[in-house]
Structure 1
Amino acid sequence: MERQIDPRRKARSTMAEPSWVQHAVWWHVYPLGFTGAEKEALPASAPGEHRLRKLIPWLDYVLELGASGIALGPVFASETHGYDTTDYFRIDPRLGDDTDFDDLIREAHDRGIRVLLDGVFNHAGRSFQPFRDALVQGPSAPTSPWFRISWPDQGAGTGPDIAEPDYEDFEGHHHLVAFNHDEPQVADFVTGVMKHWLGRGADGWRLDAAYAVPSAFWSTVLAEVRTDYPEAYFVGEYIHGDYAAEVRNGTLDSGTQYELWKAAWSSLNDANYYELAAALERHNTFLDTFAPLTFVGNHDVTRISSQLKDPELLPHALVVLFTVGGTPSVYYGDEQAFRGVKEDRTGGDDDVRPVFPGSPSDLSPAGQHIYRLHEQLIGVRRRHAWLHMARTRVLSLSNEHLVYEAAEAGDGASIVVALNQAAQSAELEVPPSASILLAGNGSLTRNNRLAVPARGWAILSAGD
């Protein structure tokens, strides 16, 4: 008998993301750091905390910023930093419990705020019970096929006195046990985890280290999940490679745009807008397949305010983030010009995963001007929702000057962006239709020229 295709699955084959994503702007939070949780898992006898509720007083702040969703870092039981998950069906006791999670979801949804979860499905922590069972019971353990374990010769035995077998891990981190994604039980397990938390109100998943997982695994899992949750959103973490092919073959909705992130800050540090122009051209090719998740900061990289050699150029990176195609994400604290450097050492992420105060009123006023700039730029984007899938076209380019158009598909609306990172003012040519200043500090002169002050920028309407 021929297998019937679920109509919702067939619709997804066109790579159409959920319609609500067109208007999404994420505020990305690393909950363990944000709430000041302990660095390691609590003892089994210790009472759990209820820190996840500390996010609730920040929900109105998210709305005032102009964002429409919270992208949470790991919230499930883990050994240390959250990416070494030990129980995928349990909220980390350092953060709370199911009730705390449910209350956060309810409060967010009451405000129209979506919630994205972080799923670590490439690997698990060593204390993950199915892995412990495999080590104790040996090759005959029901969960032994979940992992790529090099068992000793038959008859060597199992138990606490037998040397631990070798196993595949994640990028040399032996405390992170890699799953065997060829094993159907693993696909069933991940499917169950996703459905469980979507059923509790989550709106989608960020798929950690998606680049290390076979695309066929994602397509198998997501086909099953979408039968029950067709409006869920799935974005994979991709750092390098053929982003479009990975997203397409895995049937994901999106992938992280690290190429644009790198170009956004290094083109400013090196006075080389040619790098950014090349990245924008490649960004256009991604948009033929998917709307990338764009960002200038996240939990794994040095903060943009520390990354830039000249802090006066921070607005330029933000202007790019909010005027090109994609789904923008703002890492918590970046909207306040927080600083922090990621270091390659134990605890080297702590500086970029800080504790936040109890409420927005406790923030230092020093970052208010950058917060207001985020508000302004997000406001421009929300008034031009077509920017989600906009293509860019470079109109004028030099090492220190860049003018580009971001346009709606077809003959629709467009805006023009002018950036001047030079220490001197510049007059840049813009199209005749670019006649209304939407944001920035440029001024139109005669003959289609735009005067942009030193280290200045402008966004112009060009056909709304």
Structure 2
Amino acid sequence: LYSSFNTHNMHEIGYSLNRQFGPEPWTLYQGLPLYSFVDNHDVMRIATQLTDEKHLPLINALMFAMPGVPSVYYGSEWGIEGFKEPGSDDALRPRVKPEDLKQGELYQYIAKLSEVRKHSQALKDGGYREIRTEQDIIAFEREAGEERMIFALNAGSEEYTLHFDARAGKGTDLLTGEEKDFGGGLLIPPYQAMIIQPER
């Protein structure tokens, strides 16, 4: 994931998600609740891997919205950095004291992602359907039963208007509480992710 963010190439992510979880019968892991992470105890910390810190919330939003069971490696909710060094993983596994860490914006954002996912059957168990993939844009739909969620992400520095077959023209961005009217296209500001629950 991180390399696609660094090179502004959402095409690679879109291709992988569609190949693994798409609606076609030949996809690899359709319906399987696989373990998802952006970093762990064996690899360089995600805050170190990304070249643009504005992508840190976005890569977490993608992880919580895509199929799978998201996992946040301890400390990454605070944006802790760490290089993987030859012969030692100490930098990846620092000793931290909760009182030394502040519950900043990233922490609050990940907590919100967790809360939204916890209350959404579509995000936990729903299928995956690609809506659009562009250089800086990825958008997909998750659906389970009567619940449908639209995820849209803009990793670029310019706003983007996403045109797609919405099946409904309005909805609520569950991350911000804002009402979104996308009947004429969904405006996605730069460096922003949305999880939209469309009106029925």
Shorter-chain TM band: 0.7 to 0.9
Q: Is the 8 A contact 2:31 2:125 kept in 1?
A: no
State the alpha-carbon separation in 1 of the partners of residues 149 and 31 from structure 2: 22
Cα displacement (A) at 1:386: 4.0
Give the fraction of aligned pairs with identical amino acids, expressed as a percent: 27
Cα displacement (A) at 1:392: 1.8
State the alpha-carbon separation in 2 of the partners of residues 446 and 281 from structure 1: 24
State the alpha-carbon separation in 1 of the partners of residues 52 and 120 from structure 2: 30
Which residue matches 1:424?
158
State the alpha-carbon separation in 2 of the partners of residues 404 and 268 from structure 1: 17
Change (3 A) 1:446 1:289: closer
Q: Secondary structure at the match of 2:150?
A: strand
Q: Secondary structure at the match of 1:311?
A: coil
Change (3 A) 1:305 1:438: same
Structure 1 or 2, whichever has the larger Rg, is: 1
Q: Secondary structure at the match of 1:447?
A: coil
Cα displacement (A) at 1:286: 4.3
State the alpha-carbon separation in 2 of the partners of residues 353 and 320 from structure 1: 24
Tell me the number of residue pairs that the alignment of Structure 1 and Structure 2 aligns.
Answer: 193
Which residue matches 1:369?
105
Q: Is the 8 A contact 2:128 2:140 kept in 1?
A: yes
Cα displacement (A) at 1:352: 0.8
State the alpha-carbon separation in 2 of the partners of residues 440 and 282 from structure 1: 30
State the alpha-carbon separation in 1 of the partners of residues 163 and 15 from structure 2: 20
Which residue matches 1:173?
none
**Matching of residue 271 in structure 1 with residue 17 in structure 2:** no
Q: Secondary structure at the match of 1:404?
A: strand
Which residue matches 2:24?
none
Which residue matches 1:339?
81
Which residue matches 1:438?
174
State the alpha-carbon separation in 2 of the partners of residues 426 and 442 from structure 1: 18
Consecutive unaligned residues in structure 1, runs of 5 or more: 1-263
Which residue matches 1:260?
none
Q: Is the 8 A contact 2:130 2:141 kept in 1?
A: yes
Q: Is the 8 A contact 1:294 1:329 kept in 2?
A: yes
State the alpha-carbon separation in 1 of the partners of residues 11 and 182 from structure 2: 27
Q: Normalising by structure 2, what TM-score?
A: 0.87
Q: Is the 8 A contact 2:138 2:152 kept in 1?
A: yes
Q: Normalising by structure 1, what TM-score?
A: 0.39
Which digits, 9 at most, give the CA deviation of each residue in 1:152-206, with x for residues without a partner? xxxxxxxxxxxxxxxxxxxxxxxxxxxxxxxxxxxxxxxxxxxxxxxxxxxxxxx
State the alpha-carbon separation in 2 of the partners of residues 444 and 386 from structure 1: 19
Which residue matches 1:462?
198
Cα displacement (A) at 1:402: 1.5
Structural RMSD (CA): 2.2
State the alpha-carbon separation in 1 of the partners of residues 173 and 161 from structure 2: 15
Change (3 A) 1:295 1:446: closer
Which digits, 9 at most, give the CA deviation of each residue in 1:94-144, with x for residues without a partner? xxxxxxxxxxxxxxxxxxxxxxxxxxxxxxxxxxxxxxxxxxxxxxxxxxx
Cα displacement (A) at 1:320: 1.1
Cα displacement (A) at 1:445: 4.5
Higher relative contact order (CA 8 A, sep 6+): 2
Which digits, 9 at most, give the CA deviation of each residue in 1:337-376, with x for residues without a partner? 1111113x111x111111011xx3x1332x5111101110
Give, as a single letter, the amino acid of the residue that structure 1 aligns with 2:115: G
State the alpha-carbon separation in 2 of the partners of residues 403 and 335 from structure 1: 24
Q: Is the 8 A contact 1:442 1:458 kept in 2?
A: no
Which residue matches 2:44?
302
State the alpha-carbon separation in 2 of the partners of residues 389 and 417 from structure 1: 15
One of 86, 90, 93 as aligned partner of 1:353: 93
Give, as a single letter, the amino acid of the residue that structure 2 aligns with 1:270: T
Cα displacement (A) at 1:447: 3.2
Which digits, 9 at most, give the CA deviation of each residue in 1:374-414, with x for residues without a partner? 11000000010342332221112211112111122xx5311
**Matching of residue 316 in structure 1 with residue 53 in structure 2:** no
Give, as a single letter, the amino acid of the residue that structure 1 aligns with 2:5: L
Q: Is the 8 A contact 2:172 2:179 kept in 1?
A: no
Q: Secondary structure at the match of 1:374?
A: helix
Consecutive unaligned residues in structure 2, runs of 5 or more: 22-26
State the alpha-carbon separation in 1 of the partners of residues 33 and 154 from structure 2: 27
State the alpha-carbon separation in 2 of the partners of residues 416 and 273 from structure 1: 17
What pairs up with 1:60-209 in 2 under 5 angstroms?
none
One of 142, 148, 153 as aligned partner of 1:406: 142
